[in-house]
Every structure is written in structure tokens, then in C-alpha cells.
Amino acid sequence: MKMKTIDSVKKKNVLRKIFSKKTLNRRLPITKWITESYKLSTFIQDLLAGITVGATAVAQGIAFAMVADLSPEYGLYSLITGGFIYTLFGNCRNMSVGPTAILSALTAKFVRGLSSDFAVLATFLAGLVQLTLGVFQLGFLVEFISGPVITGFITGAVLQVNCGQLKTLFGMSGDAGNTFVEAIENLYRNYNTLNIWDTVLGVVTMLILLLLKKLGDGCSRNDSSIRKIRWFACLARNTIVVVIGIVVAFICYLIWGSGSELTIIGEIKGGMPSFQLPAFSTTVGNQTYDFKQMLETLGPQSIVLPLISLLEVVVIAKAFTPDSNFDTTQEILAVGLCNFLGSFLGSMPTTGSFSRSAILKSTGAQTPLAGVFVSLIIILSLSVLMSLFYFIPKCVLAALIILSVASLLHTEEMISMWKTSKKEFFVMFVTVIVCCTVGLEYGVIVGVVLDMLFILFKSARPRINESRMKINGRDVLVVALPETVSYCSAEYIRKTILRATVNLNINSFIIIDGTNTLSVDTTVAKNIMDAFTDTYENHFQIVFLNFNPDIVKMMLELNFRQKSKFVNGMTVEKLIENSPGNV
């Protein structure tokens, strides 16, 4: 009876913890900030920030759909769910969830030449993977993608995306290719199809974007009226060049009719997408794919999609969120829900956008509710503005993408790696090469594997410090073991120590210093004990100095008769001073 009472109390405590206000606030953050600090002034700031970013998001959504080789409306579909879902479940007040250039380039690799159903299915599967990682708190897996691999991946993505967009910027025909090398080859093959009108407008667009960006340097929303206008023009530069492009294209249409030399987007499917399950079977041309075949077509390498999505959103959340409020698991759950539910509205894979998030911060967004207003602008655009977007020149979107993606390239990080760590530079360089020649997803995989090999090599070949001294005419060899000694380094450590004893005189001291050693595998312990107790105990005086009790216990289990050789609480110098003759 007493046991039943204890179990009942435990169950009640568990349930109370699960359904507590603290848990609710952590897993549904909106319940905290909307009741504690939300007011009319906050709402107005979120509204203005959301409208500003919404205008930019429309242009980027259409542009990134081009990068993903999808119809323009899919880029806009991808911006609907994120604002609503992240507002409920996200912690970062400046986060803007939607398509990004890098994720779009990855998506293109898996859906080019196929139907949009594959992109939507990839979003659905990415959401499932991310939710699984979040529920089981496996977000640490993203940490296996190191800084050099991230830098190499971003560099490869920038080269691939921008080279692919040069085709559109110059109005060339042909495919953009799946890699940087393919994009270069296609540019070379189709250089004679260059369209001078697209080229001129594209280059002028890039110049206007650079000018508007320079115009806003040093300005903020708290400055004087003129400087505030400059600041706003800088933030809205993507929208401004798209509007200019539409006007130019429309004038060309009025002058030359449908035979205008400019390449335009054309008709975009308007209206809201229907809420439905992603397609688990589809037909491309004359071939029908069932669910299994769709999975096989996407391939196991498509697991990179949800991981890169998580990586982007976590990096952005860390950049814009105070450490005290950052919760990796919650961010993973939030973006997982954005992708999972977004797939029901035809979304392509999404993540956090650094450029749009930076604009939210600059325009004074106070809570994630600003993302809702971004989504409402997208919905408004899909409902009533699609006819205007008909005249968007593709070269303008290409110019927008090229400069937006180029800003992700940080050459100073590469220079720093070259100066400080040739190993990290090598990992980064190999990642770039694989990304450019084989594919972005393979670049990440190769980079991670290469990093792990370096870690394994370091574990198998730890740094062992040796020092020699002479006390009262006797040789003293001190071998300091590293913090962690694993089984794969057992033979290396044994050989290293034995090699160090070759030139020692008989009756020399050998001190194995474990002061900094936190853990030792039994394999290593046995190798060390066997090497010295069986081979050299009659020739040298051996001391195991300052090993922690757990390691001592392990080593004595292997050879208890050597207990007298373990000494604790002394420095090497003190041990030698107190042992003029024998240890």
C-alpha cells in the first residue's frame, strides 16, 4: 500500500512538472512575452518592422524559388507558415523564417528536372527529422559541423549560386548546373546567347543596390529626417530595384509589345495554396513515382537539408538572442514545425534568414509577432499583387541574389585560418573543392568526416611531454600524460615512453606524471603497467605520480603488487628532493 502511495506521488509530481507554467512558457514562449511585456507601442514597432521585411521577403521569395529551380509562387508559399509558427514556438524576436539562398541551392540539387512535389516532400521529411531531433534533444549533432566546414560549405554555396545566377543576369540560355564546375561549363557553352538588354539592366541593378547600401552607411531610424530616409532606402533596396525593374519592363512592353528583349518572370500562380498532405506519389513526364521511388530519388544524402536548415537557424538565433534566453532544443522544434506544417501549404525547405532577421532587428522588431506581419504581406501579395509581378525582370532578381549571397562570404575567416591553423584551413579548402566539383551536400559530408579523422588521429597520437633532468648524478625522466588517454593510443604511448628510456642509465628515475590526466582506458593502463613492471622494474626506479583515485584503482586491479609505486600530493621537484637515494 505504501509503495502504491509513493508511486502515485511520483506520477503526480511528473505530471505537475510537465504541465507547469514554467514548462508552458518554455515550450510555448508566446504565453510568456505576450502577457508580461506586450503593449500598444510594441505592437506598432512589430507592425512597421513586419511590413518593411515583408516587402523584402516578397522579392527574396520569388528569387530563391528561381535558385531552387521552382515556380516563383513556391518561394512565397515558403514564407507563409514560418511567421505564424515561429511566433508561437520561437524565442528569437528578430528571427525571420523562410527560404534562403544556400538552402534553395541545396533543394535545387534534389528537385532539378523533377516536379515541385519532390521539393514539398523534402520539406515534409526535413520537418520530421528536425522534430525528431528536437523531441529527443539530439540537436548536438549539428555541432559536429565545425567552423571550417561551415566556412567551406558557405564558400562553395556562394560560388555555385552566384555562378548559376550569372546565366540569368546575362540572359543566357542553358542550365545553371548542380555544381560550380557545371555552372562554369554551361556559361562557356552558352556565352554566344548573351542578351545585351538583360545584361545592362542586371549590371545597373547591381550598381543601384550597392549605391543604396552605401547610402545607408552610418544612418539609423533615430537620425534626422534625411538620414532616416537614407536608412530606410538602404533597408528597402531589394524592393526598390524590383519596382524599378517592373517599371522598366512595363515601359519596354508598351513600346515593343510582347516582343520585348527583356526576360521577365511571366505569369505567377496567384491565390493561397490549398492545405493538404504533401504528394506521396507524382508523375514527371511519362514516369510515375511512388513514395518509395521518390525517397530513392531524393537519396540518403538529402539528410543534409534538415541539418543545414538547423545550422542556419541556430546560428542566427544565437546571434540575435541573449544567452540567458537561448534554448537550442526549442529553436529546433520551432523550425521543425515550420517545415512540417509548411509542407501542407506547398512550402520548399525553410530556415532562418540572416538578411531578413537583420532587417527586423534594424527596424526595431520587439517580439516574434513581427513575423506574422511578414506572413500577412505575403498572403496579401499572393491574393492581389500577382499581376504586378508578371513584369519582374529575371536579371533584376539575379542581381539581387548575387549581391545578397556574396555578403555571406567572409574571406577574413579564411585568412585567419591560414595564419593560425593550417589543419583547419585544409579542412575548409577540401570542403570547398568537394562542394564545387561534386555537390554541396557531399562537401559537408566530406568535411565532417575529415574533421573526425583529425580528431581520431589526435586521440591516437596524443601529445606526451617528456622532460629530463639530473639530480645527484642520476638521470630523471618525467613523462607527463595528457588529460584523456584512449585505447587507440595505448601502443603509441607505450612505445613513446619506452623509446624515451633507451639512453637512461641503470637506476635512473622514471616518473609517469598523471597530474593532468582525467581518464585512462584499461588498455592503456595495462600497456603502461606491463611495460614498466615486467621489463624495467629491475633497471629503473619507477613512480606513478598524482594519478586520480579512480585511475589508481583501475591500474592496481591490473597489478596490485605495484601499489607502493603510486605517490600522490607531491610535485615532481619535491618528489626528487625527498628521494636523494631511493624512491
Q: Where are the domains of the chain?
A: 37-423, 465-577
Letter string b/e over residues 35-73, b meaning 16 or more CB atoms within 10 A of that residue's CB:
eeeeeeebeebbbbbbebbbbbbbbbbbbbbbbbbbbbb
- Residue 582's pLDDT is 45
- Residue 34's pLDDT is 85
- Residue 292's pLDDT is 94
- Residue 419's pLDDT is 92
pLDDT tens, 5-20? 655 655 555 555 555 6
What integer best gives the mean pLDDT of the chain? 86
Q: Which residue has the higher pLDDT, 352 or 583?
A: 352
Exposed (0-12), middle (13-18) or buried (19+): which is 158, by Cβ within 10 Å? Answer: buried
Please check the confidence at residue 63 and state whether its pLDDT lies above 90. Answer: yes
Q: How far apart are CA 164 and CA 186, in angstroms?
A: 9
Mean pLDDT comparison of 202-206, 268-272, 561-565, highest-scoring range: 202-206
Q: Check: CB of residue 45 under 8 Å from CB of residue 364.
A: yes
Mean pLDDT comparison of 17-31, 167-181, 368-382, 484-498, highest-scoring range: 368-382
pTM for this one? 0.82
Q: Which residue has the higher pLDDT, 192 or 571?
A: 192
Please check the confidence at residue 301 and state whether its pLDDT lies above 90. Answer: no
- Residue 509's pLDDT is 79
Mean pLDDT comparison of 173-182, 265-274, 345-354, 485-494, highest-scoring range: 345-354
The CATH architecture assigned to 465-577 reads 2-Layer Sandwich (3.30)
Confidence at 472, pLDDT banded by 50, 70, 90: low
60-74, 131-145, 466-480, 511-525: which has the minimum mean pLDDT? Answer: 466-480
Helix (H) or strand (E) holding 188: helix 180-189
Sign for the CA dihedral angle at 209, 212, 214, 217 comes to negative
Please check the confidence at residue 479 and state whether its pLDDT lies above 90. Answer: no
Q: How far apart are CA 82 and CA 312, in angstroms?
A: 14
Confidence at 324, pLDDT banded by 50, 70, 90: low
Exposed (0-12), middle (13-18) or buried (19+): which is 419, by Cβ within 10 Å? Answer: exposed
- Residue 348's pLDDT is 95
Give me Rg for the CA atoms of the chain: 31
Please check the confidence at residue 143 and state whether its pLDDT lies above 80. Answer: no
- Residue 177's pLDDT is 78
DSSP-derived pairing of the beta strands 351-352 and 97-98? antiparallel
| pLDDT (average), residues 450-464 | 89
- Residue 368's pLDDT is 92
- Residue 224's pLDDT is 84
Q: Provide φ and ψ at 11, rounded to 5°.
A: -65, -40
Q: How far apart are CA 583 and CA 576, in angstroms?
A: 8
